[in-house]
Structure 1
Amino acid sequence: MVKQLTRMTLIGATCLGVLAGCTTSDSAAVYSKSQMRQAQNVEFGTVVSVQNVKMEGENNELLTVGGAALGGLAGSEVGHGNGSIAGAIVGALAGGFGTKAIQHSAGTKPALEITVKLDRTGHMISIVQEADIPFVAGQRVRVLTGGGNDRVSPM
């Protein structure tokens, strides 16, 4: 029984790791396939301020269901008859809620809130994106907008 639980745990961890690698990026330097060959409006501006913020992790329902299923399997190994049914229910709940909590905390990553004054209009805009490209106040930037995927990139 311990050997079977260890095997299920290893399989579950591998599946969760593979599925977690399927997350999307909020980097200004990464484009999804659907964003390819899409026109974007380009404006130029100057960075007014940069604030460090945190980007909350997203919940992947497939991972949550997988965690619940693995928890249910592990819980069903407890006892026999009605005991294994109760164990499966408790295990599924624990697996689902646990997976959801892990996704939320593990998916949180550093981001930047970049405030830019646009040259053409003088309007101020703010865009939050992954903190993989450094920005500083006074820096000249390009602001790309369109399709709900706005981004700031260095010139």
Structure 2
Amino acid sequence: MRKVLVLVCLLSPLLMVGGCASNLQGDTYSREQARTPQTVRMGTVESVRYVQIEGTKSVVGPAAGTVVGGIAGSSVGGGRGSMITSVIGAVAGGLAGAAAEEGIMRRQGIEITVREDDGSIRSYVQADSPDVSFSPGDRVRVLTVNGESRVTK
């Protein structure tokens, strides 16, 4: 029974973090953006470079790590020693959980610098998509809704 509890505690954070994932690709819209008018600007790609989009930093990773670390620490030693290792395990688990969440949620991004038809040059970062590639000279659309922009072909 104890092994099942530990397994559930270890797997639950991964499921929670995965459920919080948001898609940052240019072809994904939130529910609030659907059926909302967008501003469309046309332009030409000036340059493209790959970047890293850092992962989320919510309370889920540290909280889950704290629980798992506390449970793991409490199983070491007995009496006061068990309490001390439980606290140490919880602190270490919280730190490890925060790092794990950020690492799991980190994404490959692409920075697209666009010279828009009005002459302005702007740079946009979005998640890299295997279905769409951008190259200098490509004609693109820049779609903006509720202050969020995306580049599409």
Same-fold call, TM > 0.5? yes
Q: Deviations over 1:9-59 (max 9, x none)?
A: 421232122112221111111111122222210011111110111111111
Task: Tell me, in whole angstroms, the C-alpha distance in 2 between the residues paired with 1:80 and 1:49.
Answer: 61
Q: What's the counterpart of residue 142 of structure 1?
A: 141
> Deviation at 1:64?
1.6
Count, aligned residues: 150
> Deviation at 1:151?
0.5
User: 2:84 aligns to what SS in structure 1?
Assistant: helix
Q: What's the counterpart of residue 89 of structure 1?
A: 87
Task: Tell me, in whole angstroms, the C-alpha distance in 2 between the residues paired with 1:129 and 1:108.
Answer: 12
Task: Tell me, in whole angstroms, the C-alpha distance in 1 between the residues paired with 2:37 and 2:142.
Answer: 13
> Deviation at 1:141?
0.6
Q: Deviations over 1:46-94 (max 9, x none)?
A: 1111011111111121232011011111111112221111111011111
Q: What's the counterpart of residue 66 of structure 2?
A: 68
> Deviation at 1:104?
2.0
User: 1:122 aligns to what SS in structure 2?
Assistant: coil
User: 2:32 aligns to what SS in structure 1?
Assistant: helix
Asked if the contact 2:65/2:94 (under 8 Å) is kept, the reply is: yes
1:80 corresponds to which letter in structure 2?
G
Q: Where in structure 2 are the equivalents of 1:3-152 lying within 5 Å?
A: 4=2, 6-22=3-19, 23-119=21-117, 121-132=118-129, 133-152=132-151
> TM (normalized to structure 1)?
0.89
2:61 corresponds to which letter in structure 1?
L
5+ unaligned residues in a row in structure 2: which ranges? none
RMSD: 1.5
Asked if the contact 2:17/2:60 (under 8 Å) is kept, the reply is: no
1:103 corresponds to which letter in structure 2?
E
Task: Tell me, in whole angstroms, the C-alpha distance in 1 between the residues paired with 2:61 and 2:83.
Answer: 22
Task: Tell me, in whole angstroms, the C-alpha distance in 2 between the residues paired with 1:128 and 1:91.
Answer: 38
Task: Tell me, in whole angstroms, the C-alpha distance in 1 between the residues paired with 2:62 and 2:36.
Answer: 33
Asked if the contact 1:12/1:67 (under 8 Å) is kept, the reply is: no
